């Protein structure tokens, strides 16, 4: 079992069981469009964690005070059956 903490999950400890990790690894693949994970293999909590965690906001180091604020965007695509992470 592997434990890790993620800053974006508000210091919540996440525990992954070996059989769950193996199930996800067996149903996912790396292709031309990125790493694909089937939604049907993920728990609702893990799916929500991925959606929240895979949003990024670019940092703007401009000296100008009128520089436009950068808005967050997702770094994954999803459809009805699977998430495609890029």
Instruction: List, in sequence order, every residue forming a beta bridge with 29; answer none if it has no partner.
Output: 36
Strands 34-38 and 82-85: antiparallel
pLDDT higher than threshold 50 for residue 6: no
The residue length of the chain stands at: 86
DSSP secondary structure code for residue 11 in this structure: T
pTM over 0.75: no
Determine contact, residues 39/83, Cβ cutoff 8 Å. Answer: yes
Residue 49's pLDDT band, with cuts at 50, 70 and 90, is confident
Q: What is the DSSP letter of 54?
A: T
């Amino acid at each position: 079992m592997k434990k890790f903490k993620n800053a974006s999950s508000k210091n919540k400890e996440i525990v992954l069981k070996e059989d769950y990790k193996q199930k996800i690894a067996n149903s996912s693949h790396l292709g031309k469009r990125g790493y694909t994970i089937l939604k049907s293999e993920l728990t609702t909590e893990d799916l929500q964690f991925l959606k929240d965690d895979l949003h990024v906001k670019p940092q703007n180091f401009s000296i100008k005070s009128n520089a436009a604020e950068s808005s967050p965007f997702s770094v994954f695509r999803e459809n009805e059956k699977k998430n495609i992470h890029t």
